[in-house]
Structure 1
Amino acid sequence: MGCLSEESPSRSMKPFVFTWNGALALIVKVSIQPCVTLFSHPKEMASSSSSSSSSSDIGVILNELTCPVCSELYKEPTALPCGHSFCRVCIEKSWENREEDTGYVCLNCREIFAQKPKLKKNVIVANLVENMKLKEGKVWLEVEVQDTEHGDVNVKEAMKSGGSESFCELCNGEAAKRCVPCDILCCEKHLKPHQQKGHKLVDPGVKIEELRCIEHGKPILLYCKDDESLMCVTCTGGEHQDHKIVGVEIAHAELKDVLAAKYPHVSQSMQSVASQLRQVQKEEEKTENSSRDAEDSLEEKGRLVCQFVNESVDLMKSEINKRKMEKLSLLGKQREKLEQQMEDLRQRKSTMDTALQDLEAISFLQDSKDLLKRLETMSDFKSVKRTPLPVLDFSKEENNLDGLIMLNKNFLEKIQKGPVEHPEKVAEGPVEHPEKVELDQNNLRRLYGRSPSLDPNSAHRRIKISRDLRTATRTGTENQYRKHPDRFDDFLQVVSRDCFSSGRHYWEVDVRSSRRWVIGICSNSMGRKGVESGLGGNPESWCLFKGNNEFTAHHNSRATDLSLPGDPKRFGFFLDCEVGELTCFGDSRVLHVFWGNSMDPVKPAIGVYDGSVHFVHLVK
């Protein structure tokens, strides 16, 4: 058997001696492969203690004889131009799975070769590995090493008994890192060889199982782009054979580049979402404030309604009491006159009774002259003429209250049915069951009656306005009106001076002198010029139209045919600004109901294409 002396070359390790069968011997075992055991005869160890290897030498030897890819003893070790060695199969497989645009990379130092290097067998390492293998692969491990720096340490026991993941497995010192390929805990001193070889190092507490392939138990060094999975070198020969495989460091760098490219987009998205979130928060705050303001406003209106009702009831009670006192005073005077007459009649009757009781003719006749004289002195009876006093009739006041109660009842029913829908979601059309509408025009006139007056500054030049500002008449010639921005130029129309933005309002229009007209309402901001300034031809106006003896309802250029049994001469309009509703009446029946949500104040409006149209003067 041969002997490797101290002068024999060995790469990156301290010289040591070994012999076979009784001589100094070095036996190596890594993982399930043969491990290294250094032992000597006790006498020779005592005499040659200066040449004994330290525990750190063993760690260096293990690393030098282990492939950094498969973590096993070299099989046909091959050296690269950079000086690092690998199993020929390991390095060639790693290069076979490289991407087309990447060079040939050393898996240790990451040096890139533009062309595939010529692989040469590392003869020294190969011989050393072969000499360290025992016959038939059987191993007997006994390690007893004197570590001069750390004291007497049984390295074999230290590697096993170190157990705790806070101690170096070579010297029992405090562990700084764990080497993944070697699966060993090292202190700062014993860590340097692993750092020089570029081994992957992790914190001592990291579980090494998570960094090894579950299937083969080998270090994870590669990444499959097709399956997006981590893998070891052995995995490359299986289902990943034709996949795009790169080193984990390259995949790590590429993924970081991808994330860095997406980072601005994510940041911008975060800013956008944050902006929307702020808007939602502002809207929530605005909604809270709006709701609070609405509740306060309703409380105030409720107080005013209660005050109005109480004042109305008190006023009616006062009026009732006043009328009662007036009538009682008249009745008292009549009672006094009647009582006086009754007293006079009693006295006459008493005198006559006394005279009639005297049965003697002579005596009666002697006293008759005096009796008649006394009767004459009494006031002549005259019946009192009673003037019929007016009956205390409060039906009118009661009807007014009944109308108010009915309107409030309808208002509550609408609230209970739910909020008013958006006008775009409500199909406009005639009311299907007009008889169910509980709006009475008489009550509307008394409670909400208005008498709008026309605005001459808005009248078309072919429309003449009466002096009382209630009648609009179509003329054949243009009137001499001065220029005004509110004047209609293209349509024969005029609007009212009255402007409604809240509350409830009712008015009537007399159309008996016209056969073609348009009547309704429009927003104060509706245009006065151009083709879109016609009533009913834009989103800002709602109106009824008569032409060719046909009636239609118009809004935003959409027409709805109306079925009328006759030809009404007067039309009523009830505007409820609180719910955004315009109810149109004809012949005491509901013809059509418009729903709207105009934020601008609205005005009654008239279009006259022949004859005259007149705003009716309503007296509450």
Structure 2
Amino acid sequence: MASADLRDKLDCSICLSTYTYPVTLRCGHNFCRDCIGQVLNTQDEFGVYSCPECREEFREWPVLYIIVRNVVESILCTEPHQEEITGICCTYCIHSPVPAVKSCLMCEASLCDNHLRVHSKSPEHVLTDPSTNLEKRKCSVHKKVLEYYCTEDAACICVSCSLAGEHEGHRVEMLDEASEKKKKKKLRNVLQKLNTRRQETEERVWSLEDHWRKAQEKASGEAARVTALFIDIRRRLDNLEKKVLSEISRQEEQRSLSLSDVIQKLEIKKAELSMKMRHIEELCNMTDPLTVLQDPDTGDLCDPEEGGGDEDTGGHDKTHDVDVDGITGMLHAGGEVTAAGEGGIYGQSPADILLDVNTAHNNIQISEDLKTVTWTGIRQNRPEIDERFQDYPQVISIRRFTSGRHYWDVEIRESLEWRVGMCYPSIARRGQQSVIGDNNKSWGLCGELVYNQYSVIHDSKYTQLRQQISSNRLRICLDYEAGQLSFYELCDPIRHLHTFTATFTEPLHAALYVYGSSIKISGGGCEDALT
């Protein structure tokens, strides 16, 4: 048993409690590991460390020696510690409490080491581990120690119960044997099952923690990707803003120069007219008719120019205004590139644009991958079905679009005449009303190589494009909910050609018309929703 003086020496001088993970400095003084660590941390900023006891200084973080931990643990594990755990004291030590080491079932008393030495050694005095419930270990009828277990009544009994009591003739077992069979074996099985379940739970916890860690890493990566994406979008928008503002400034400067020239010419014209007016007024105020009649300029003055001379000054028309349509096209094209054109914010996947052979006219061929349509003078002899275009070399896609934002690209190969666009499935399959754009069920962009003309068409209304198309690659963009179908030329930079606005009432299919060569679907994607 440790003395009080020795216990006092196991107290940390910093926290004043028994050492926890004790360590020793080079000077020989002992402290709790965490306590001395906190003290040394506060001394970091001074660049020198010192012992809280003797103030010995160390130029570097001192080495902490673990040399007294075993001593502390061995002392704390002695009898006083057991006393704290059991709380059972000797029955006969009345002057001061002394921990009990055994209990006698016969005497119903607990004994310390000293009283155990003088205790009776006779067999009826059964000694057990210290206990406060000694009466429960005796038979309530015969007041004898419970030594047996009745297997028939599942009860603990004494020897008298077995020989002459109510359990006479019953099969009995020793308590240790019965405990092993009846309880401990089952408890071991339960323990094994619980251990298995605990291992499974630990594995599940590890799996969830691993999943959580990976989810955090994925979220961090996605956040970084989105941040980089928005930085790129802002850069693109800044460049687009500079480009559009520069174009507006250029047009404004050009317009200013043009108007300045016109104003200068008009000022000269105004001066000439003022001079003629003054001369005419002078002639009108003369009283001598001969002078008036003989004036050499009278004929010219009486025959003023028609139209005020606007043809000389150019007049004022819309050519001097800012090209609003051009600026809008630049904004539209730039916005399309930023949001959808080249891997934008919504994340794109290839659109499944495949051509429907069942709708193909018999004078066009469809490639095996269902991506290319080619004009041919050889009739394909496909079966005559209601879905097939009968009079014009057209085909539509298998896929139909009922929502979302989508785009698809085409590559036109020296076709004499072509049309690309979208149509309702209810479009006619015979006659002029079946041609893309020549009805109110389709919208198209068409080109005629012979006349070098390009137009957009819907419901038989043609709108000729002001600009020529130099690239053979085009993009068709659909925003179903917004009711917009746009066409772009895939040049550098991408150029907006035209946008149809409508309220779509049916699903839409991609539609192609080709005469003279071929059209290939070269790519596509979708922007389903901002979700």
Q: Please, what TM-score do these two structures have when normalized by structure 1? A: 0.36
Report the structure number with the largest CA radius of gyration. 1
Q: Please, what TM-score do these two structures have when normalized by structure 2? A: 0.41
